[in-house]
Amino acid sequence: MGEPHTALDLQQLYQNRFGGMADYRQRVWVVLSQFFSQWIPSDAQVLDLGCGWCEFINSVNCGVKFAMDLNPDSKRFAKPEVRVLEQDCSAPWALPSDCLDAVFTSNFLEHLPTKSALEKTLVEAHRTLKQRGRLIAMGPNIRYLPGAYWDFFDHYLPLTERSLGEILEKCGFDIEISRARFLPYTMSHGRQYPLWMLRAYLSWPLLWQLAGAQFLVVARKRFVRE
């Protein structure tokens, strides 16, 4: 399957979009990784799928860290303990089966070029996760962003929490949490809010219903008796 963008395209798009916010984004992800740690044991083996500049995987407290992205800057930003896999995520992953405790992905699945690529990616996530391992995904919810969703040149797949949940179940996952509204849409522009406001927002889900335009889905690999 040909890539819709080359690695250098991804590098340039990401730099243009987030280059002036790198320090702020890193501080934000320290807070977010603490929130997501409720589903990630401290000794877990974790893969950050579509890791970008590795803000999540650099920050999260876990045992073994993997990251996957075609962006050549991912290796440059990754901490030494992070193993970066530079590959197409819809191709077989360079990891053994049943080795991961969690796969995390943020604002990435919508960048895949086709639904087939998404399904192949989820099949690989399922293969590499241990029994009852978790996939944690957040991303823009097309239900609440019918126009603004397409403001990003590299958006391809319009998803909701329901459509993602449907394909996850087809790929052998059980949905644990499905929230239509979670975080606001984007950090690529606009005001840089104080981190105490983010902490307060995360601790008060009622606010998510007012400002959230990204879904949050947590799914577990379906248990199969040997």
pLDDT at 208 over 90: yes
For the chain, percent of residues with pLDDT exceeding 70: 89
Global pTM reads 0.91
Class of domain 20-221 (CATH, top level): alpha beta
Tens digit of pLDDT for each residue in 108-166?
A: 999 999 999 999 999 999 999 999 999 999 999 999 998 888 888 888 999 999 999 99
Domain ranges of the chain: 20-221
Mean pLDDT of 5-23: 65
The 10s digit of each residue's pLDDT in 34-78 is 999 999 999 999 999 999 999 999 999 999 999 999 998 999 999
Q: What is the 3-state secondary structure (H, E, C) of the chain?
A: CCCCCCHHHHHHHHHHHHHHHHHHHHHHHHHHHHHHHHHCCCCCEEEEECCCCCHHHHHCCCCEEEEECCCCHHHHHCCCCEEEECCCCCCCCCCCCCCEEEEEEECCHHHCCCHHHHHHHHHHHHHHEEEEEEEEEEEECHHHCCCHHHHCCCCCCCCCHHHHHHHHHHCCEEEEEEECCCCCCCCCCCCCCCHHHHHHHHHCHHHHHHHCCEEEEEEEECCCCC
